[in-house]
Structure 1
Amino acid sequence: MPPKHGLSDPAVAAAAWARYRRLMRWMLLVAVLAVAAALAWLHVEGGLMTVHMVIATVAGVGFTVLLATGLMMAAFLSSGSGHDEDVASNPEDWR
């Protein structure tokens, strides 16, 4: 049986996913601040906003920030935990 590497090791995987969830919580706060800043800027520049504009801004800015940070952190999680090396290596080399 090949030795466990990277995310295949339960201890490494638990630590990596805990770090990912902790960083995503911080990025949720950043997304909320980005939405608030966007709404404030739109209010200052444009005056009255319709409910549709507020909903579109909240969904667009919030989703974009969370999607971008989630994808970037997934790439760093994969690289930092050694998972990329596991995928790139040959299982025959683990023996």
Structure 2
Amino acid sequence: FRLAACLRDMEIILRYVTYAMIAGDSSVLDDRCLNGLRETYQALGTPGSSVAVGVGKMKEAAIGIVNDPSGIARGDCSQLVSELAGYFDRAAAAVA
């Protein structure tokens, strides 16, 4: 059950990081996804640090996609990468 819940939550975190990127605002991520998530994992006996590692892996993959030179976007994406990294860092800190 815990593994299924963690995988589901990873999908939800990724979705809300995407929403935050589109909105340019972390409030949707905080309000709809992160608030109370740490407490949920504590109640389930799931180590938040392990969830934070998973969020970090999603961050690495997402940044890799943004920085992929064969992608459709050309030019300097450093601001986009910084914003994206910040949202993933926020999610990792919320569960750790």
Identify the TM-score tier after normalising by the shorter chain: 0.3 to 0.5
- Bigger relative contact order, structure 1 or 2, given CA contacts below 8 A and separation 6+? 1
Computing the radius of gyration from Cα coordinates, the structure with the larger value is 1
Which structure shows the higher helix fraction?
A: 1
Output the TM-score relative to the length of structure 2: 0.40
